[in-house]
């Protein structure tokens, strides 16, 4: 039986991935927005090429998965250039 990851574990994975590829990550978290549902967001330092990356979904776990997937796409895009 596979143990389900907690929200905290997912946030830590995203933070480590961001630190590894983008440098300093200031904030990784999730909040509920009335219009968008659950919004997972990561903010970077001012020196970074990106200010922030976010993803939204009706479920917090899925929003975090989408954020990680979006970050991996950006990382792969920059590695191929």
How many distinct structural domains can be found in the chain? 1
Q: Report phi then psi at 46, rounded to 5.
A: -65, -25
Q: Which residue has the tokens 């917090």?
A: 60
CB 17 within 8 A of CB 71: yes
> Does residue 70 belong to any structural domain of this protein?
yes
Q: Which pLDDT does position 81 carry in this prediction?
A: 59
Asked, for residue 2, whether it belongs to a domain, the answer is no
Domain extent for 27: 7-80
Indicate whether 44 belongs to any domain: yes
Q: What is the pLDDT of residue 44?
A: 85
User: What integer pLDDT is reported at residue 55 of this predicted model?
Assistant: 95
pLDDT for residue 31: 94
Q: Is residue 1 part of a domain?
A: no
Please say if the pLDDT value at position 54 is more than 80.
yes
pLDDT, tens digit, for every residue of 12-52? 999 998 888 887 888 889 999 999 999 999 998 777 777 88
74 in a structural domain: yes
CATH number assigned to the domain comprising residue 73: 3.30.160.100
Give pTM, 2 decimals.
Answer: 0.85
Ramachandran assignment for 69, one of left (phi > 0), alpha (psi -120 to 50 degrees), beta (any other): alpha
């Amino acid at each position: 039986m596979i143990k389900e990851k907690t929200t905290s574990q997912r946030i830590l994975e995203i933070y480590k991935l961001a630190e590894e590829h983008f440098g300093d990550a200031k904030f990784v978290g999730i909040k509920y927005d009335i219009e968008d549902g659950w919004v997972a967001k990561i903010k970077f330092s001012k020196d970074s090429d990106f200010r922030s990356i976010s993803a939204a979904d009706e479920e917090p776990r899925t929003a975090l998965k989408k954020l990680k997937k979006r970050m991996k796409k950006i990382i792969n895009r920059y590695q191929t250039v």
